[in-house]
Amino acid sequence: MDIPAVQSPSRFPRREAVDPFFHHSLIARRNSTMPAEKYEVNKYRWVIVGVYTLASATMALTCFSVAPLVSSLSRDWGVSFSQANLVLIVLFGLFSGLVSLPGGIATDKFGWRLVFCFAQTLLAVSALLRASTRIWPLFALFNVTGSIGLGLATSVIGAMVLKWFPRREVGVANAIANVGLAAGIAAGNAIIFPLLNALGWSGMFLTLGLIASAGAALSWIFLREQPPYPPEPLPPMVKVGLWESVKQVMNLDNIILLPFSLALVGYLGIVPAIFPVQFASYGVALTTVGLLLSVMSLVGIPASLIIPAWAFRMGRPKLIMSLGAVVLVLAFLSVFFLPLGPQNIWLAFLIIIIMGCAMNSLMPIRMGLAQLQPGVRPWNAGVLMGIVMTANGLGYFILPSISGMLVERSGPTSSALMLAGVTLATLLLVILFVKEPKVEAPAVPAAEPEPAS
């Protein structure tokens, strides 16, 4: 008669204590005659992504809402415009990008929940410290502290999604998480000037710090590192060191997606800078331009939720992302080549709505494509997101810097053509070399049975 297989004690108890996914891979490889391990799509995943989204909204409100205050900071604090811009935008973005890869490494080593909650706490403390000082060097130091928190927080989403969601739901999970950032930015743009006018600098930063503290508290209370059981089986892969993890996640597809991601992030820095100049040349009032930009952010919220989820459920995320990128470029260029004066303002709003839907839906799809590559696992997703967010940081500064020089020399149209050209060139690489991912979980190959002793 057949003797049932007996599970022997593991030789890797320390790794299993940190990540039970590791143990499941060992079992699958070691003894194919053993009963299948349990896999379960846990309902608490929606609490996880909901709390993550709310916390991300408070993070975005605290971090990104202060960018329009550069001129006010320069005037009230007695510093030059370039100094204020350096502290509020340049250094903030620079340090958040520099810590993205260390944040990804820390995510893989200590878990995404601990890194995210610590980052949220750091953001809240930095806002509260900025409220407590009127000394410029200290203010700059506390601002950089907040940028480190932002860089750490943005590096965890890959691990969170892969530990809690099956592959078929990667698109909707990334989309919901992205809604928090968009909503936080939109809310921040709406309240930051009224807060400053009513409460002053100290009161404004105190309010932002309390909001960020609420987000940190939600994170510490409700977030969990991973469910009791993985959401689905995956082919076995053993944990390795940092360099091997980089080689696991950075296949050709993810390498090609990096410059495309850089181009997409360029729109976040360039569009708000050159649209006011271009629309002013058409005779459109600046208040109307501000309304156009607000509409772009607002329509992006439902678009970033619906379109990525639909793309992954259709099983064609690469195709839909490619079409969306073409639509984005055409709508973007039309602002510079169509007569969009006050008499055609309805057409301007239509173009802005199309741009908002495209811009805000492309990045979640791009993130999902990276997470679904064959070598990406919950224990190396932090390294992947660290690399991606570093590329995003480069895109946020390299392309706007080039854009600024082009605008000064030959006007905003040359900047628009540059950005459109970079987008189409990197998109061509995506079309040629990136494959459509397998949205359903791949079959786990059975290992050879151990010979009877």
Q: Distances from the Cα of 56 to the Cαs of 47, 60, 94, 161, 214, in angstroms?
A: 14, 6, 20, 14, 11
| Residue carrying structure tokens 């700059």 | 140
Which H helix or E strand runs over 137?
Answer: helix 136-153
Distance of CA 207 to the CA centre of its chain: 25
**How far apart are alpha carbons 207 and 401 in whole angstroms?**
32
Task: Quote the CA–CA distance of 153 and 113 in Å, as a whole number.
Answer: 10
- DSSP class of residue 282? T
Q: Among 382, 362, 363, 381, which Cα is nearest to 373's?
A: 381
Instruction: Select the CATH number that applies to the domain covering 242-438 from these four: 3.30.70.660, 3.30.420.40, 1.20.1250.20, 1.10.260.40.
Output: 1.20.1250.20
CA 331, CA 329: separation in Å to the nearest integer? 6
Residue range 398-421, pLDDT digits in tens: 787 788 788 878 888 998 999 999
User: Mind listing the pLDDT tens digit for each residue in 204-255?
Assistant: 889 999 999 999 999 999 999 988 888 877 666 566 667 777 888 889 999 9
Contact 422, 399 (CB under 8 A): yes
Cβ–Cβ < 8 Å for 348, 214: no
Quickly list DSSP for 302-370: HHHHHHHHHHHHHT-HHHHHHHHHHHHHHHHHHHHHS--SGGGHHHHHHHHHHHHHHHHHHHHHHHHHH
Q: Which part of the chain is CATH 1.20.1250.20? A: 19-26+42-232, 242-438
Q: What was the pLDDT predicted at 433?
A: 93
User: What number of residues does the chain have?
Assistant: 453
Q: What is the DSSP letter of 269?
A: H
Please answer whether residues 175 and 367 qualify as being in contact, where contact means their C-beta atoms are separated by less than 8 angstroms. no
Q: Which candidate, 57, 44, 56, 51, places its Cα nearest to that of 164? A: 44
End-to-end CA gap in the chain: 15
CATH superfamily of 19-26+42-232: MFS general substrate transporter like domains (1.20.1250.20)
Look at residue 146 in the predicted model and tell me its pLDDT.
86
Would you write out the chain's pLDDT as a tens digit for each of its 453 residues? 444 433 434 444 444 444 444 444 333 333 333 334 677 888 999 999 999 999 988 888 887 767 667 667 777 888 776 677 677 766 777 787 788 888 888 888 888 999 999 999 999 999 899 888 888 889 888 888 888 888 888 888 888 888 898 877 877 787 787 788 878 877 877 787 788 888 888 898 899 999 999 999 999 999 999 888 888 776 665 666 677 778 888 899 999 999 998 899 888 778 877 887 888 888 888 778 877 877 887 888 888 888 988 898 888 999 999 999 999 999 999 999 998 888 888 999 999 999 999 988 898 898 888 888 888 877 777 788 788 888 877 777 778 778 878 887 888 899 899 999 999 999 999 999 999 887 665 555 554 444 454
What are the residues whose beta carbons fall under 8 Å from the beta carbon of 2, sequence distance 6 or more?
Answer: none
Residue 236, pLDDT score:
60
pLDDT of residue 440: 62
Return the SS3 of 211: helix
Q: Classify residue 136 as exposed, middle or buried by CB count within 10 Å of its CB (0-12, 13-18, 19+).
A: middle
Per-residue pLDDT at 83:
76
Query: What's the rounded Cα separation, in Å, for the pair 64 and 62?
Result: 6
DSSP string covering 61-119: HHHHTTGGGHHHHHHHHT--HHHHHIIIIIHHHHHHHHTHHHHHHHHHHH-HHHHHHHH
From CA 117, how far away is CA 160, in angstroms rounded? 13
